[in-house]
Structure 1
């Protein structure tokens, strides 16, 4: 079961299914980061302007929800795919990240745009980013 600690907050996700546990954990972690980024960005713009309105607050809340849900979903799909590929291949290596990143990039692109060239490019980007992150992770441990 995934366990993480961030800012002295301990979160445990236990649905009884390891695939679902990792997917939900990825969704919650990255969704929270994306929502926080949206708040920080809007806080900067409000501070720069020097005033805030209820319209600004509503806009920020909607942006938090949208960004959190989008990036949380992408992260959940990626972590679920990476776990499933690791189980199917029976090994844990950078190739799992590459395959999961490429599939996640392609799936996300297919859902949002459906344009064939963009799907291929997003699959390549997803695979490259996931592989790079995996290599960086190996270097830091």
Structure 2
């Protein structure tokens, strides 16, 4: 299947630790996507209103940083968890994504919440989403 891209930026992160490299890489990649989404959403709302102010720009920057940091952290935790599971299990398959996603979902839920049922549901969701993403990546 042909592929095209608008822009490609290759950044290599080498901290000397493969676990840390993957974690930082996940943070930056997904954090950048989340920050860009926040800016695009705010730009749409500003354009729809037809006016812009310093307050709008400040709020947009705060939202961009908050969203980028949050989703970057979640992605970094997931990337590190998946790599750690791969190292512990000694194999590379879809189960690493499932376990890494479940652990990440549970951890993020536990930090943001405390409800045991919610933690279990978020672990199941994290595992399911990560597994689905892994299976979709096999299609390419």
- TM-score band (shorter)? over 0.9
Residue 36, structure 1, aligned to residue 36, structure 2: yes
Residue 110, structure 1, aligned to residue 110, structure 2: yes
Aligned to 1:80: 80
- Cα separation, 2, equivalents of 1:60 and 1:75: 22
Q: Cα RMSD between the aligned structures?
A: 1.2
Aligned to 2:17: 17
1:139 to partner: Cα distance: 1.2
What TM-score does the superposition give when structure 1 sets the normalisation length?
0.94
2:109 aligned counterpart, secondary structure: helix
Q: How does 1:86-101 map to 2 (within 5 A)?
A: 86-101=86-101
1:8 to partner: Cα distance: 3.1
Q: Flag structure 2 segments of 5+ consecutive residues without an equivalent.
A: none
1:10 to partner: Cα distance: 1.9
- Cα separation, 1, equivalents of 2:61 and 2:6: 22
Aligned residues: 136
1:114 to partner: Cα distance: 1.1
Q: Flag structure 1 segments of 5+ consecutive residues without an equivalent.
A: none
